Amino acid sequence: MAEALARETGSDEAEARALGLAAVLHDIGKIRVPDTILASPGRLAPDQWEVMKRHTIWGASFLSGHEGFQLATKIARSHHERWDGAGYPDGLSGSAIPQAATVVTVADAFDAMTHDRPYRASQSVDEAIKEIVKHAGKQFNPAVVEALERLYHRNELPVTHLEGSAADAA
């Protein structure tokens, strides 16, 4: 998904491929988050939430120690930044957020919404798209959301679970 979004937002083939590969490592910092937090069926307590938020810093720290992982490091650190500045860990906003991270943010949100989680059932593709569109300009880079919509309307979302979407009609 991240690779397709990168391509749709103007990255050339090599850049899109590199972003797609780096995106796989975006949550690597979660290896330091206790399983009791990762598998929590309900809302996290404030202290648990603080631990969870640190996965961005832990992941970036781990990746920065390895040559050739500069893009993955930026993505790991910044994929929970929000377009409006309300994200973490640095409170970046708008164009201060690395473009690659804004792409992964949308791809990650779509993936999270369309798959079951310990704390909630999955949404349909249609529901996930509507939710992401609703948060364009707040949580998400509007240009990346527009790219997601274009892929969706052309039935080119690179997913295998398209129940409840425009792809059903195709």
DSSP 165: S
Q: Is the peptide bond before 89 cis (omega within 30 degrees of 0)?
A: yes
Q: Which is more confident, 119 or 141? A: 141
Number of structural domains in the chain: 1
Q: What is the CA radius of gyration of the chain?
A: 16
pLDDT at 155 over 80: yes
CATH of the domain at 15: 1.10.3210.10
DSSP of 82-116: -TTS--SSS---GGGS-HHHHHHHHHHHHHHHTS-
pLDDT of residue 41: 87
pLDDT at 96 over 90: yes
pLDDT of residue 117: 79
pLDDT of residue 160: 55
Tell me the one-letter amino acid at 31.
Answer: I
Per-residue confidence at 154, pLDDT binned at 50, 70, 90? very high
Question: CA 164 to CA 95: how far, in whole Å?
Answer: 33
Containing structural domain, residue 20: 2-169
Question: CA 14 to CA 16: how far, in whole Å?
Answer: 5
Q: Is the pTM of this model over 0.85?
A: yes
pLDDT in tens, 41-61: 889 999 999 999 999 999 999
pLDDT of residue 169: 35
Q: Calculate what percentage of the chain has a pLDDT beyond 90.
A: 85
Q: Which is more confident, 169 or 123? A: 123
Question: CA 2 to CA 54: how far, in whole Å?
Answer: 23
pLDDT of residue 23: 98
3-state class of 30 per DSSP? helix
